[in-house]
Structure 1
Amino acid sequence: MTTLPVEISAERWLCQLFASRAAASGGIVRRSLRDVDRIVGRTRFLHEIERRGFRAVENAGQVVIFCNRDPIRPLH
């Protein structure tokens, strides 16, 4: 028997994401792209990222959010 995930509103999910210790201290957080699309929707998620002046990248089904306004420089 599989357990269904607990429902969470888009607003609460976003609040929890940006209130996390890493986000609040200007760090980096990672979330599943599937969760982003399922809970918040990509358009709203990207709007919230941009509104805060943050950057995000996608790789292998994950979104890495840089919770600061520092430039991102590829290392290769």
Structure 2
Amino acid sequence: MTYQITAPRTRVHGNMWLHQIFQCRAAETGGIIKRQLHDVEKEVGLGVLIHEVKRRNFRLLRTNAHVIIICDPGPIRVLV
């Protein structure tokens, strides 16, 4: 039996965390990004995220436990 040794994942905080969110493919192609609200509050704060979403002309939804960023500045229709 062989085992593969992997390097531990490094955690990214603050501005780097925010930068990574908006550099992902979903942000670049008009997709959706979902993060736990707890993580947003711990890393940058909801206010900072709201500011960055507005700056990019995206939309932000919030549930009890998650935030959902819609990376498309076009109109949104709620169907249900």
Q: What TM-score bracket applies, with the shorter chain setting the length? A: 0.7 to 0.9
Q: Which amino acid aligns with 2:49?
A: F
Instruction: Give the TM-score, by structure 2 length.
Output: 0.81
**What is residue 59 of structure 2 aligned with on the other side?**
55
Determine what percentage of the aligned residue pairs are the same residue.
Answer: 40
1:59 Cα deviation after fit: 1.6
User: Which of structure 1's runs of 4+ aligned residues deviate more than 6 A?
Assistant: none
Instruction: Give the TM-score, by structure 1 length.
Output: 0.85
1:10 Cα deviation after fit: 1.2
Q: Which amino acid aligns with 2:12?
A: I
Structure showing greater radius of gyration is 2
Query: What number of residue pairs does the alignment pair up?
Result: 72
RMSD after superposition? 1.5
